[in-house]
Amino acid sequence: MLKKFLSVFMVVALFTAVLAGCGSSEKASGGEEKKSGKARVIRAGIGLNDKHPQYLALLKFKEIVEKESNGSIKVETYHSSQLGDDRAMMEALQLGTQQMTIPSTAPIANFVPEFSVYDIPFIFPSEEVADKVLLESDVAKELLDKLPAQGMVGLAYWENGFRDLTNDKVSVATAKDFKNLKIRTMENQLHIAAFKALGANPTPMAFAEVFTAMQQGTIDGQENPIATIYLQKYNEVQKHLSLTHHVYSPFVVLLSKVFWDESSKEEQDIMTKAAQEAGEYERKLIREANVQNLEDLKKAGMTVTEVTPEAREEMKAITDPAVEKFADKIGKETIEKVKKAVEDAQ
Ligand code: TK8
């Protein structure tokens, strides 16, 4: 009797050990997972809509990751804030209930204050310089390295681009034209302070609420890159577009650290490379869109106001003291490093 019990026990023990073995090899190698059909899923959500280059590049990321991982990772894509606004999605990444999002750096500063260095008005003179700083400098990489302590991993910088101002009241050409304009800003203290310094009345608000707020007149305007202005159809509720180019917004491809830690080294490399490759594609598309969509907006009847370099200088002089108050929060060293990287890139 005892003998029979022991042999049954041993068979069960052996079986369990084999199963456990399978489990761990599944984790280590993607191929096994495909066979057992247990792909791990990345739920990726963004605020912009499915026509925006960011979404098209997210689809490219999906294609690369699913192919290269042999199906061990599946990517599900959601646009138009279907999974929530930038802040809510980043919090979901921290909890591990969502795996991926691609916000502008401005809302990331609520989690890692150093990211506000990119919010300093006019810190980047051109897209070419931004490319060199974001893709090649040590400081840009150092900022990404601060994300894991906040439960997120930064895979790559993509481009949202230079931000321009729209409103329904006046054509803004110089600093004085900002006076009393009720402008939606991103949820970012430095942006709020800079618009206040210009005499505007900044109202931070989640991206998904902006169109309706302009339609109902609770705000006079907003600021975003040309592609966003056109693809979100802001021209339907806004008359004036000013080419202020006041801030350059990078995007960061963010992954939940929970998902990252559950991934094999091989999978991590696949995801990082895919984010970089899709990023090249995104930069190309967004630059084409920013040129084409400016023409589209003109055709749609928006009045477009050019902003002279002198007017930008004046705006910079007005916002600089407000920005100075954030130096400690951002870190003086970080600011100096970015300014140096900008200089070296020119
Ligand atoms: C989209 C945002 C958006 C940003 C904003 O999720 O909120 O105005 O420019 O593109 O990141």
pLDDT higher than threshold 70 for residue 23: no
Asked whether residue 339 is assigned to any structural domain, the reply reads yes
What is the CATH classification number for the domain harbouring 57?
3.40.190.170
- Cβ of 160 closer than 6 Å to ligand 1, yes or no, is yes
Ligand 1 pocket test, pick from 52, 207, 246 with the greatest ligand atom count within 8 Å of Cβ, gives: 207
Q: CB–CB of 246/223 below 8 Å?
A: yes
Which residue did the predictor score with more confidence, 311 or 33?
Answer: 311
- Cβ of 103 closer than 6 Å to ligand 1, yes or no, is yes
Q: CB–CB of 101/207 below 8 Å?
A: no
- Cβ of 232 closer than 6 Å to ligand 1, yes or no, is no
Q: How far is the CA of 86 from the centre of ligand 1 (A)?
A: 8
- Cβ of 89 closer than 6 Å to ligand 1, yes or no, is no
Residue 38: its pLDDT value, please?
Answer: 84
Residue 34: its pLDDT value, please?
Answer: 47
Asked whether residue 23 is assigned to any structural domain, the reply reads no
The packing angle between helices 189-197 and 309-324, to 10°, is: 120
- Cβ of 207 closer than 6 Å to ligand 1, yes or no, is yes
Mean pLDDT of the chain: 92
Q: CB–CB of 161/290 below 8 Å?
A: yes
State CA 110 to chain mean position distance.
13
Asked whether residue 15 is assigned to any structural domain, the reply reads no
- Cβ of 54 closer than 6 Å to ligand 1, yes or no, is no
45's enclosing H/E stretch is strand 40-45
pLDDT higher than threshold 50 for residue 26: no
Asked whether residue 263 is assigned to any structural domain, the reply reads yes
Task: Give the DSSP per-residue string, 55-116.
Answer: HHHHHHHHHHHHHHTTTSEEEEEE-TTTT--HHHHHHHHHHTSS-EE--BHHHHTTTSGGGG
Asked whether residue 17 is assigned to any structural domain, the reply reads no
- Residue 248's domain spans which residues? 33-345
Alpha helices, DSSP H, located in the chain: 2-28, 30-36, 53-68, 86-95, 105-108, 127-136, 138-144, 189-197, 210-215, 226-231, 257-262, 265-299, 309-324, 327-330, 332-344
pTM for the model stands at 0.90
Q: What tens digit of pLDDT does each residue of 163-217 get? A: 999 999 999 999 999 999 999 999 999 999 999 999 999 999 999 999 999 999 9
Amino acid at 42: I
Q: How far is the CA of 188 from the centre of ligand 1 (A)?
A: 11
Asked whether residue 150 is assigned to any structural domain, the reply reads yes
Structural domains in the chain (count): 1
Q: Mean pLDDT, to the nearest integer, of 245-267?
A: 98
Give percent above pLDDT 90 in the chain.
Answer: 89
Asked whether residue 20 is assigned to any structural domain, the reply reads no
Asked whether residue 25 is assigned to any structural domain, the reply reads no
Q: What tens digit of pLDDT does each residue of 30-76 get? A: 444 444 568 999 999 999 999 999 999 999 999 999 999 999 999 99
CA atoms of 46 and 83, how far apart (whole Å): 8
